[in-house]
Amino acid sequence: MAGIVISGLHKTYPNGAAALQDFHLAVADGEFLVLVGPSGCGKSTVLRCVAGLERPTLGTISVGGRVVNDLPPQERDLAMVFQTYALYPHMTVFDNLAFGLKMRRRPQEEIGKAVAAVAEKLGLKAHLHKKPRELSGGERQRVALGRAIVRQPQAFLMDEPLSNLDAALRVKMRTELLKLQRELKTTVLYVTHDQTEALTMGDRVAVLHSGRLQQVAPPREIYDHPANRLVAGFIGSPAMNFITARITGKGDGLVLHLGGQTLPLPGDYLERRPGLKNYQQKNLIAGLRPEHFLPLTGARRGMLGRLKIRVEVLETLGPVNYAHFSLPDPLAGREAAAWVAALDPTVPAAPGQDLEVAIEPRHIHFFDPETGKAL
């Protein structure tokens, strides 16, 4: 087992597409690191460079302290689980699992034992003699996983291994995969475009956007303190609401202008958010997660900022209602920003209804309007 260190990685494809720029990432030994980002941001490119299937334009990649840039894939001792599984269709499950060991010229007896152990662990014992086409999607997925772990490689690379499974199976495999990793204590670099997967599975999460790394941090920190607007907008479902805002006044008269309304801020707000000091009287981007709208209950009434909204569409999901509404955005010079509030089902709401919701000022995120950096 070994850590993976990627430094200064650039990748430009022969057709001129710059897929990765100045990418740095260190996956610690035994860590489960999830690389997440929207489609086409370069996640697979990172994995393929680490695996040796793609040659980096610039930068070094080391596995277990050894620079592997010039090693062909078969000498890097990494295992990859492909999104499409890439099982060998002409071989039985046993041969699929045994292939890696056979290529490494292990004795027949050892191969048999190792395959049996993995098949046992993954519940594939009954399928060893079958061909991949005779398996269900979930079973194929487990064969792909088994093929990776049977070799006990230095690290696993996984490219959206769960994305071809149906929703229920995906949730189940998520926990099974985690359990397996805890058990094997192997380094995993896991790629997904699903932010839920990222937050639930990763020891740390790395957010990639347009070929540039945005933030690497534990899931909670990514969620609570997104480094910039891209991360804030990508992590969380439904996505964070954004609008142009402005802070004016001072002391007890400190207020936040947003959506044509004003919210009072506590007098010590700027002391607690020093990043905002230089942004008084200036436009900035305010962000608020849908789940941070609170019902106006009696006890809290005094402490909270209030926002008047008119519900346009109401989605009722059971445990939560999503109220869609629009806020005028005069500071940005645009008509309106579309917002979503996750409301407790006990809050009476209906389409077309005017509603007052509460906001806690500490839940508001601020971003520089130009750079998008969190303040």
Partner 1 sequence: MKRSGVSVHLATVLFILLSFFPFFWTLLSSLKPASQLFQINPPFWPQPCTWENYRAIFLERRFYLNILNSVVVAGAATGVCVALGSLAAYGLARLRFRGKSIILGFILVVSLFPPVAIVSPLFLLFEKTRLINTYLALILPYLTFALPLTIWLLTVFFRQIPWELEEAARLDGAGPLRAFWEVTLPLAAPGIFTTAILTFIYCWNEFLFALAFTTNDASRTIPVAIVMFSGYHTVPWGQILAAVTVVTVPVAALVLVLQRRIISGLTAGAIKG
Ligand X SMILES: Nc1ncnc2c1ncn2[C@@H]1O[C@H](COP(=O)(O)OP(=O)(O)OP(=O)(O)O)[C@@H](O)[C@H]1O
- Phi, psi (degrees; rounded to nearest 5) at 164: -95, 5
CB 323 within 8 A of CB 309: yes
Among 56, 132, 219, 259, binds partner 1 (CB under 8 A): 132
52 binds ligand X (CB under 6 A): no
State how far the alpha carbon of 238 is from the alpha carbons of 189, 321, 348, in Å: 26, 12, 21
The C-alpha torsion from 238 through 244 and 249 to 255, rounded to 10°, is -30
| Least distance between ligand X and beta carbon 36 (Å) | 10
- Angstrom distances, CA of residue 294 to CA of 157, 258, 326, 344, 362: 41, 17, 17, 8, 13
Neighbouring C-beta atoms of residue 142, cutoff 10 Å: 23
Binding test (CB under 6 A) with ligand X, winner from 25, 44, 124, 341: 44
Closest distance to ligand X from the beta carbon of 354 (Å): 41
Using CB under 6 A as the binding criterion, the count of chain residues that bind ligand X stands at 13
Cα separation, 227 vs 372, whole angstroms: 9
**In Å, what is the CA distance from 339 to each residue of 24, 30, 55, 239, 272?**
34, 40, 43, 9, 27
Contacting range for ligand X; rule: CB under 6 A; set: 1-9, 35-43, 341-349, 366-374: 35-43
Residues 164-193 that bind ligand X (CB under 6 A): 193
How far apart are CB 37 and ligand X at their closest, in Å? 6
- 187's contact among partner 1, ligand X, Mg ion, none, with CB below 5 to 8 A by partner kind, is none
Tell the smallest beta-carbon distance from residue 14 to ligand X (Å).
Answer: 7
Q: Note whether 58 binds ligand X by CB under 6 A.
A: no
Phi/psi at 116 (5° precision)? -60, -40
Binds 193, which of Mg ion, partner 1, ligand X, none (CB < 5 to 8 A, cut-off by type)?
Answer: ligand X
222 contact choice in ligand X, Mg ion, partner 1, none (CB below 5 to 8 Å, kind-dependent) = none
The verdict on 107 binding partner 1 (CB under 8 A) reads no
Segment interacting with partner 1, rule: CB under 8 A, options 119-127, 136-144, 227-235, 247-255: 136-144
Q: How many CA atoms lie within 13 A of 254 on its CB side?
A: 15
85 near partner 1, rule: CB under 8 A = yes
In the region spanning residues 41 to 70, those forming contacts with Mg ion, defined by CB under 5 A, are: 44
Beta carbon nearer to ligand X, 9 or 150: 9
DSSP string, 256-286: EEETTEEEE--TTHHHH-GGGGGGTTSEEEE
- Give the nearer residue to partner 1 in terms of CB position, either 11 or 289: 11
Among 3, 42, 161, 226, binds ligand X (CB under 6 A): 42
Q: Residue 315 and residue 317: Cα distance in Å, rounded? A: 6
CA distance 241 to 309: 14
Kindly indicate which of the ranges 97-105, 224-232, 318-326, 367-375 contains the residues binding partner 1, using the contact rule CB under 8 A. 97-105
Strand, helix or coil for residue 112: helix
Near partner 1 by CB under 8 A: residue from 43, 147, 193, 289: 147
Query: Does residue 39 bind ligand X (CB under 6 A)?
Result: yes
Interface contacts to ligand X, rule CB under 6 A: 13, 15, 17, 19, 37, 39-45, 193
Interface contacts to Mg ion, rule CB under 5 A: 44
